[in-house]
Amino acid sequence: MSRSGSAYAPAFQFQRGDAGIRVKKPGRRAPLDMKRVLLALGLTALGFFAVHEAYRLVISWGKLTIRRVDLSCPDKTVGAEIDQTLKGIHWGNILLLDISDVRRRIESLPWVKSARIRKIFPSSVKIDVAVREPAAVLEKEGLILIDPEGVELGPAGPERSSGLPVLVDEGRFRDGAADKIGRARECLDAMTPEERSEAETLDLSDAGDVVLKFRSGPTRLKLGDELFGQRIALFRKMKDRWESELGPLEYVDLRFSDRVYVKTAGASPPAKEPLDSDKETR
């Protein structure tokens, strides 16, 4: 059965133009130009040679040879010791100087706290030294000076140890030295400058009790392990009154918050007399 009025469209097929298809063929590599390669290698070698020669020239240049070392040290004795240490250093060219090695040598000395080293071109070195300050004398097998951090500085000669408190321990600080010295430092830090100058000994034999003695008298103060400043202030305030009432005091036990125990000099057997510290201080 035929369909009337219907249109017939033939199938359309896409086709390239009639022109021939161009195929890209891989191009031929240019032949290696050996002259250019050799020229590049030659220029590179020449550059390395120039740098090497410049380096040799600089490190051998006489104007860069260290000729002056300026040392600034507040202590003449320590400065003389540093001078002896520096004599073993070959200074040479300033560019080749290893500052860290020089600093290590100087700071290995007990009295040196820190050293700052600077290169001053073209031929000088500047060294600034900070020196440790002695804070106390440690009674071990001998008398040893120590700084506030407990660093041992060397034997306590009369010039350097004069006026410094002596830290004592029944065990000669063979055990727990760091903790004991730390408690002594806390106690000294709690004192006024006047009290520190008067402090003669700090006995650290008991781990929980710092026993202080001033140069001004024989009385020993049992301070415990805290409130050092307050307890010392109480003793200094009440000392004259207690002695007028009780006589010379061998020791005063200040470790308790509400009472004070004392032992009078020459009492036998040891007699402890409680004093109401709150009542006395009002």
pLDDT band at 194; cut points 50, 70, 90: very high
pTM: predicted TM-score of the whole model, two decimal places? 0.72
Instruction: Please report, for the domain that includes residue 265, its CATH number.
Output: 3.40.50
Q: What is the pLDDT of residues 81-135, one digit of tens each?
A: 999 999 989 898 898 899 999 999 999 999 999 999 999 999 999 999 999 999 9
Do 180 and 89 reside in the same domain of the chain?
Answer: no
For residue 2, the model assigns a pLDDT of: 46
d(CA 232, CA 198): 12
Together in a domain, 272 and 153: yes
Is 146 in the same domain as 206? yes
Residue 37 — very low, low, confident or very high, per pLDDT cuts 50/70/90?
confident
Q: Is residue 1 part of a domain?
A: no
Q: Is residue 22 predicted with pLDDT exceeding 60?
A: yes
Asked whether 249 and 275 are in contact (CB, 8 A), the reply is no
Check pLDDT > 90 for residue 211: yes
pLDDT at 70: 96
Domain containing residue 121: CATH number:
3.10.20.310
Residue 269 has pLDDT above 90, yes or no: no
Q: Is residue 22 part of a domain?
A: no
Mean pLDDT in the chain? 84
Residues 6+ apart with CB under 8 A from 264: 246, 247, 248, 249, 250, 271, 273
207 and 264, same structural domain?
yes
Task: Tell whether 250 and 214 lie within a shared domain.
Answer: yes
Give residue 73's pLDDT.
97
Examine the domain organization and report whether 149 and 199 are in the same domain: yes
pLDDT at residue 210, rounded to an integer: 97
Instruction: Looking at the structure, tell me whether residues 220 and 235 fall in a common domain.
Output: yes
Phi, psi of 157 (to 5 degrees): -75, 160
* Residue % of the chain over a pLDDT of 70: 77
Final residue before a domain boundary, out of 88, 111, 131: 131
Contact 248, 237 (CB under 8 A): no
Rounded mean pLDDT of 31-40?
A: 71
pLDDT of residue 88: 84
Are residues 92 and 177 located together in one domain of the fold? no
Number of domains comprising the chain:
2
90, 115, 131 - which closes a domain: 131
Determine, yes or no, domain membership for 152.
Answer: yes
- Please check whether residue 224 lies inside any domain of the structure: yes
Residues 254, 190 contacting (CB under 8 angstroms): no
Structural domain span for residue 155: 136-281
Please report whether residue 48 resides in a domain: no
* pLDDT (mean) for 241-254: 94
Check whether 263 has a pLDDT greater than 50: yes
Mean pLDDT of 57-64: 62
Residues 148, 94 share a domain: no
Strand 136-139 to strand 166-168: parallel, antiparallel, or no bridges (unpaired)?
Answer: parallel
Statement: residue 165 has pLDDT above 60: yes
The reply to whether 209 and 237 lie within a common domain is yes
- How many C-beta neighbours within 10 Å does residue 153 have? 20
- On whether residue 30 sits in a domain, the answer given is no
Q: Find the mean pLDDT for residues 246-256.
A: 95
Do 92 and 203 sit in the same domain of this protein?
A: no
* 261 shares its domain with 201: yes
pLDDT tier at 150, thresholds 50, 70, 90: very high
